[in-house]
Chain A
Amino acid sequence: MEGTASLAGTAAAGAAPRRRRNYARHYWWFVVPCGAVVLGTIVFPWVFTLYMSVHEWRLGGGRSWVGFANYAKLVEDERFLLSILRTLYFTALSVLLPMVLGLLAALAFHRKFPLRGLARTIFILPMMATPVAVALVWTMMFHPQLGVLNWLLQQVGLPPSMWVYAPETVIPTLVLIEVWHWTPLVMLILLGGLASLPIDPYEAAKIDGATPWQAFRHITLPLLAPFLVVALIIRTIDALKAFDTIYVITQGGPGTASETINIFLYLQAFAYYNLGYASAVVVVFFTIIIALAMVLLWTRARVKDA
């Protein structure tokens, strides 16, 4: 041991002390273009949004410093508070329903049956449609007197619905479009997950006499959990930022019954040109999204650890 240590010591002493060249000071210039883009497109807009949010700022008018008055006004603004509730309601339904239906569809399409490929293709077609075009078509179908949906309801003896034309039914109806549009995406993610699952646990479970429900509950669901979380994150982000379909179909109406935060924000910024107030809404909305994202990431980490 001693000899080894001595040899090592001799070798270290024999080598000339090499000065490591510091390349970093040359390399950092390469970061400058990327840094400039990040500063210009992410940091600056954010700082400027914060700056605008503490001003009374109207397009075509002057601007004046108001401190946190815009934020204080938000707390008392019933229309804004209701828009948050509507956003949460819309998001919850628009995430939950596609998740459940997407899982069922993935389980169905994972099984082998004739024309499975064709059926899968047809199922994912809605996802390929342009949201605005989809919204215009649905608007025509929802017309209470002339729309095809009420005609179909009447054919099977059901009373007509007011769809997006009544405050009570407008959000569920908008969720219906989201479900139709985005369930295929959830199905695709989960189908990929199902295809990657090992078959050994199922064979073992079968030998042990597990029922199909038990196999699903104790094998499929836990193994599929990481994919479910990915689908959940994607759907939540999509549902939170939903704007185009709602704006085209209802513009937030009837009254303010479908006015989500995005619609409220859009109106403040681009219809009322109230840029200061709209910026405060952006900051608050961003905070909500960050909080939600942290919850989702925490969930993902827990699922991964499990």
Chain B
Amino acid sequence: MTRAITRRTALAAGAGLIAAPPIVRQANAQSQFDWKRFAGERIEVSLTANPRSTILIQNQREFEDMTGIRVGAEQIPEQQHRQKFAIEFASGRASFDVVGISLHVNKRQVGRARWCTDIKALMADASITSPDFDFADFGAGAVAYSTQSDGRMDTLPEFTDYFILYYNKELLAAKNIAPPATFDEMYESARRLNDSSRQIYGNVGRGLRNANVVLYSSFLLGTQQRDFLDEQRRLISDTPDAIWAGEFYKKLLRDCSPPGVSGFNWNECQTTFMQGRAAFWLDGVGFAAPLEDRTRSRIAGKVGYAVVPRGPANHHCAMFGTGFGIAETSRKKGAAWYYLQWASGKANQLRYLTSGAGSPARTSPYRNEEAISQSRFSREFFSTLVESARISRPGLPEIVPVTEFRDTIGAALTSTIGGADVATELKKATEAFRPVLEASERAA
């Protein structure tokens, strides 16, 4: 006896066949994460031009093969990138799904305008978050940096930049000088190492307006006050501690740095230090790679690394950071979230560290003894990074008009290199910027 196939049975079977692949995929997801879930989609990624973005773009194929998602990535110079994404976000039609954000500059602006989606919800969804993602691996400081004051996490930490002390081992050894442990020692050593007749200088550092504030903040962090804002978020950049930091900045750059330093940004500092013309240079960790590049640097293999010296009251190093955000307007948030997991994944973070492109936001790369032992950088470099992470604090205030702040305070600092009185200049700059900050805080 045969049973005839009814129309209902046929429809049910057809529906079952159609539904089978997603069900199977879902079942597999429980045993093995489904990286192909968004295969066929294309996302646009907008990054700041730097060695880390280059690493991501060079290895992008790896992500595309794993997920089947096509990626259109661009990298744009820092200043222009910040403007581009802000204007695109403000237009309401951002051309990208994923964006790299400098948290020390744009965090509050992005957070207040709610331009990026809260990734906590995506992270909590096990169907789209790889079991290997391991959020606990991210450093606490980096996570705090990526979290807005209202608890939203609108970026995934990528890179944490610490200010460290680079020193020329040869110059220090010639005068039997040890790496300084305090700012006072640093100044005294820089003075001893200064020999302008040979065009050798004890120190080199950022003097150019705006760029110089991050160096100044390294000194301010060593004081009792530490920050630019008080607990009520009022500007306190003309206090005795702020003036002390300004005086130290002035004497270090005026007495022991090359002539013309008031126009130096990081690139002039790097050139001077690479040519063996300066003994100390306090700047971000990302410069280790060019300094150790034997084809470009005269001091490759002779660079010493140390944490920022201790201040009169505290011991901190300035921290800056970047993260990846997903545009709130993106229609491909799933694919974009996959990209974030890959971009800030353990493999890429290890690549950052071992190539010298920057200090990763995850902690696991620092524990990878095998990779570290094979790196071209010394153990001293890695131990400096670990120690810096321990003592780090944000180097800039979390405010919307941070660029205007840097320009205003920075111009005052540049004037002090020319001989202007520190207290007068800082007072003038503080008075000029205070109304801007107050207006910005009122709008918050």
Q: Which residues of A contact B (CB under 8 A)?
A: 58-62, 143-146, 160, 162-167, 170, 250-256, 267, 270-274
Contacts and interface: CB of A to CB of B under 8 A. Distances in A.
> What does DSSP make chain A's interface, helix, strand, loop or mixed?
loop
Given A164-B263, A165-B260, A272-B404, A253 B209 contact: yes
B268 A255 contact: no
A145 B258 contact: yes
Contacts of B79: 271
A46 to B, nearest CB: 20
Interface string B88-118: 0110000000000000000001101101000
Contacts of B417: 254
A114 B347 CA distance: 67
B249 to A, nearest CB: 14
A145 B277 contact: yes
B259 interface: yes
Contacts of A162: 259-260, 263
Contact of B263 (A60, A250, A270): A250
A143 B274 CA distance: 14
Contacts of A252: 209
Interface of B: 79, 83, 86-87, 89-90, 109-110, 112-113, 115, 199, 207-210, 258-264, 268, 271-272, 275, 277, 400-401, 403-404, 407, 411, 414-415, 417-418, 443
> What does DSSP make chain B's interface, helix, strand, loop or mixed?
helix
Given A144-B258, A146-B275, A165-B264, A60 B411 contact: no
B306 to A, nearest CB: 24
B86 A166 contact: no
Contacts of B109: 60, 273
A60 B403 contact: no
Contacts of B258: 144-145
Given A62-B443, A253-B414, A146 B263 contact: no
A143 B271 contact: yes
B90 A144 contact: no
The 3 A-B residue pairs with the shortest CB-CB distance, nearest first, are A165-B260, A165-B263, A144-B260
B209 A256 contact: yes
B271 A146 contact: yes
Residue of A160, A253, A272 with most chain B CB atoms under a 10 A cut-off:
A253
A166 B112 contact: no
Given A144-B258, A255-B414, A60 B209 contact: no
Contact of B411 (A160, A163, A255): A255
A254 B277 contact: no
B89 A165 contact: no
Contact of A145 (B83, B113, B199): B199
A267 B115 contact: no
Contacts of A58: 400, 443
Nearest to A61: B443
Nearest to A166: B260
Nearest to B444: A61
Given A144-B258, A146-B275, A250-B263, 8 more contacts: A60-B109, A60-B112, A60-B113, A146-B271, A162-B260, A163-B260, A166-B260, A255-B411
B414 A251 contact: no
A274 B260 CA distance: 31
Contact of A271 (B110, B264, B403, B418): B403
